[in-house]
């Protein structure tokens, strides 16, 4: 997933990440595609990590959120 930080405050970025994490948790509680009642389509998100691709944004706080929230 790519998340672009432009003119957002640190608080806004953290809030966005919390919403994204909530969505990922909901996906884990559900299933993708058909035959979910038979156990197919289950997903689990593990070892989530934020990286800076361009620029020099400090992702240390975001990685803390990813390890404590999931």
Evaluate whether residue 5 is within a structural domain.
Answer: no
For position 69, what pLDDT does the model report? 61
For position 22, what pLDDT does the model report? 94
Evaluate whether residue 3 is within a structural domain.
Answer: no
Q: Tell me: pLDDT of 70 over 80.
A: no
Q: How would you label 35-61 residue by residue, b for 16+ Cβ within 10 Å and e otherwise?
A: eeeeeeeeeeeeebebeeeeeeeebee
Provide the domain limits for residue 45. 10-69
Evaluate whether residue 58 is within a structural domain.
Answer: yes
Evaluate whether residue 1 is within a structural domain.
Answer: no
What confidence tens digit (pLDDT) does each residue in 2-48 have? Answer: 998 888 898 999 999 999 999 999 988 888 787 777 878 888 999 99
For position 52, what pLDDT does the model report? 92
Domain count, the chain: 1
């Amino acid at each position: 997933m790519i998340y672009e930080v432009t003119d957002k405050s640190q608080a806004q970025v953290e809030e966005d990440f919390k919403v994204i994490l909530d969505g990922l948790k909901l996906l884990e509680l559900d299933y993708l595609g058909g035959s979910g009642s038979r156990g197919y389509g289950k997903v689990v998100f593990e070892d989530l990590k934020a990286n800076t691709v361009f620029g020099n944004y400090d992702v240390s706080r975001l990685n803390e959120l990813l390890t404590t929230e999931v």
